[in-house]
Amino acid sequence: MKAVYTELHRSHDPQFFLVRGVVKRTTEQPERADRLLAGLKAAKHHLVAPTTFGQGPRTRVHSVEYLSFLAEAWEAWSALGDAGAEMIANMHPVRMGGTYPAHIVGRLGWHTVDTACPIGPGTWAAACAATDVATTAAQLVMDGEAAVYALCRPPGHHAYRDLAGGFCFLNNTAVAAAHLRLMHERVAILDVDVHHGNGTQGIFFERSDVLTVSIHADPAAYYPYVWGYAHERGAGAGLGSNLNIPLPIGTGDAGYLEALGRAQKTIEAFAPGALVVALGLDASEHDPLAGLAVTTNGFRRIGQAIARLGLPTVLVQEGGYLSDILGTNLTAVLAGFEEAR
């Protein structure tokens, strides 16, 4: 399987992370990509550099206003003269009848849903490179590859049309799906990250041409807390095109694979022309965020189950944080996919 990757992700190196009122070093570090890359090399996957697509793929899923904010944010922040080394919002207006702000501090609050997305001098470049990685993988599948893996960093599935959140700035999974829609009438997204893909759900919630399915730890006790419940099924034209399968904290292989079987049936009934997998590896029993307890063999079986859908597939890297087994779990899920394909 080809794997798309660029070193440009390294320009995003955030330090700040607020956990229950405690400031810590974020778990979304460049070293994540190093460990994932080691997993790819161990299995001798062929690395491909991304094509630069420009703003086009991003504007299919994000507002021009939001993209302009991200592109201009660091320069405007730096011009304040008394600001910190990273951009962290000190207000979140929740848009309750408010006016779009002109000041960078106001815009930062307007466009971030939480404090988990510190913006630094290289964040915009890295986020754009990640969307190029995802779009390149989608284009390779459109050009005839059966499946392609996209090593995207920073991740994307918590990013809404005009909101950053949960380490995510641009929604790489949504960008890949929208690109595949240029060829296919219907596209399905299967999110196997331990966290609900709330941004992806939000982007496609009122659309009937993209099915969004997410298997994740119960949001009643786990991020993102206010999205990801089973009753969220879509709205308007998209009613019935969203499926959330929340799992009890600590669920292992058996419970996870049972949920995946339900997801498979829903995807098959939707009859998409292509599939995007939001490949979070943070459902691992060894992940530091400790939501679910999937084993390495469980990840292999997840890969096998995804492959049995028999669809042209883009696997977009989402979560999976610093553990010694991160690269091994990536090798396992891709190996399982190839075994069953």
- Catalytic residue positions, numbered: 158
SS3 of the chain: CEEECCHHHHHCCCCEEEECCEEEECCCCCHHHHHHHHHHHHCCCEEECCCCCCCHHHHCCCCHHHHHHHHHHHHHHHCCCCCCCCECCCCCCCCCCCCCCCCHHHHHHHCECCCCCCECCCHHHHHHHHHHHHHHHHHHHHCCCCEEEECCCCCCCCCCCCCEECCECCCHHHHHHHHHCCCCCCEEEEECCCCCCHHHHHHHCCCCCEEEEEEEECCCCCCCCCCCCCCCCCCHHHCCCEEEEEECCCCCHHHHHHHHHHHHHHHHHHCCCEEEEEECCCCECCCCCCCCCECHHHHHHHHHHHHCCCCCEEEEECCCCCCCCHHHHHHHHHHHHHHHC
